[in-house]
Copies of this chain bind each other. A is one copy, B any other.
């Protein structure tokens, strides 16, 4: 075998899959940002066709051949790091996709597709019983998949690994345990303290002005507009088509400007990650974020460590006042800072504040883990959910629509995904701790609008590698440690102690 020739063929094959994926992503973006509705049906056929091409290529005999030939121990010695990792990723996908019997997989795809619309209906009617039989089957499938894929320790590890390679129940129990205690204590104290005034947050802020302000902020946060653009959608997202084209969308709520401003900063963090992946990785399957958790760490770094800080608003509050209406005239910077960081335990995850958000995730984690392990049953979920909300957050859903049915994730079978959100918080705080050692004037830089060096630090330690390194490998190299919750504990304790005079 001519290794170089084989390697080239493999690269071309993977690049082709990536090309199809880029086409799919352009069409996805287009569907969300204004494709005319009458064309959607046919467009969906095209999307399904290309997605199915990608899937077929991932489990083809040709792919099996590459994995065998280039995965050979002798051959591996002659391969570069990028190719080695590419093969490893392909092998992982191949095995994941191959281990499930075809017939079962097809049933599962149909089940989750149907479950999506049933979940919508159930949520609207606040009727868990509609969704229950579907969820039971989805859980059963995921339990079987875990067996097919194999795992060490807890069965849930098999699912976790698909979103956050290397992170296990053992790790999560430890870090979430550490966090839960602090969060609950902090929350108790905060609730006894005086709440900030927040009425001004809900006064009219014209959409065009929000957009103009968002564009200003994006530029200052080192988002490259020659490699991106900002559009409007119902649900904000960032999408990397290639590192030269990473788009952000946001949502403008005229009676709550925070949705757009903090949403845009959050998506900007996702986007600068993808914009700064090394050009060497373009055309490979490594040219994307390494995991859901690390991706979220970048968006949360931008949102929390930059966008929700006092320093950031010291720089930007005047401009916000200029763009906004008269509501800000009576509000000084301190009051503004307190208001946008208000803590208020609530029922809905996506509306949660920085302090309580992780508790929403911990609740889901505890439920998923027990569910997959067969310790609890689907039929008991509403009660378990409501009890946990009451216990951790002091609020109890009045109906399942604002309770166990609120999130889409289970309807599409994404068990193991939720922890990524909390991991993003933990990684972000841990990275910030390491970053300030290199850039002790972190705060001053934000105050002065000099974010480039901060972004460059993240690029150096995270962005550039794309999927070339695993999450914990990146974390270790950047911080010298494994996953540690204590930096997030410190961050939250310090921030909220100051904010609420605890």
Contact = CB atoms under 8 A, between A and B. Distances in A.
A27 interface: yes
A319 interface: no
A99 B40 CA distance: 38
Contacts of A282: 42
A238 B16 CA distance: 29
Given A19-B50, A23-B50, A244 B34 contact: no
B26 A244 contact: no
Interface in A34-81: 34-43, 45-46, 49-50
B27 A244 contact: no
A224 interface: yes
Identify the interface centre among A39, A41, A241: most chain B CB within 10 Å of its CB.
A39
A19 B38 contact: no
Nearest to A227: B38
A151 interface: no
Identify the interface centre among A16, A46, A50, A247: most chain B CB within 10 Å of its CB.
A46
A23 B229 CA distance: 20
Contacts of A241: 39, 43
Chain copies in complex: 2
A242 interface: yes
A244 B50 contact: no
Contact of A38 (B23, B36, B42, B245): B245
Interface in A6-42: 15-16, 19, 22-23, 26-27, 30, 34-42
A206 interface: no
Given A19-B46, A19-B49, A30 B36 contact: no
Interface string A398-412: 000000000000000
A307 interface: no
Nearest to A231: B34
A23 B27 contact: yes
Given A22-B46, A36-B227, A46-B23, A41 B283 contact: no
A243 B244 CA distance: 31
Contact of A30 (B26, B37, B46, B49): B26
Given A26-B30, A30-B26, A30-B30, A226 B38 contact: yes
A330 B241 CA distance: 52
A35 B282 CA distance: 18
Given A16-B49, A30-B30, A49-B16, A22 B43 contact: yes
Contacts of A225: 36
Contacts of A50: 19, 23
Contacts of A247: 36
Nearest to A23: B23
Contacts of A23: 23, 26-27, 46, 50
A345 interface: no
B228 A36 contact: yes
A43 B242 contact: yes
Contact of A45 (B19, B26, B46, B243): B19
A224 B38 CA distance: 10
Nearest to A241: B39
A40 B26 CA distance: 12
Contacts of A245: 35-36, 38-40, 42-43
Contacts of A244: 36-42
A161 B241 CA distance: 39
Contact of A39 (B16, B41, B43, B242): B242
A90 B207 CA distance: 50
Contact of A42 (B16, B36, B43, B242): B242
A49 B23 CA distance: 11
Nearest to A224: B38
A350 B35 CA distance: 30
A245 B41 CA distance: 10
A16 B46 CA distance: 8
A240 to B, nearest CB: 10
Contacts of A45: 15, 19, 283
A267 to B, nearest CB: 15
Given A19-B46, A39-B245, 8 more contacts: A26-B26, A36-B244, A36-B245, A38-B227, A39-B241, A41-B244, A43-B242, A43-B245
5 contacts: A22-B43, A22-B46, A23-B46, A38-B243, A43-B241
Top 10 A-B residue pairs of the complex, sorted by shortest distance between their CB atoms? A39-B245, A38-B244, A39-B244, A38-B227, A42-B242, A19-B46, A23-B23, A19-B49, A22-B46, A38-B226
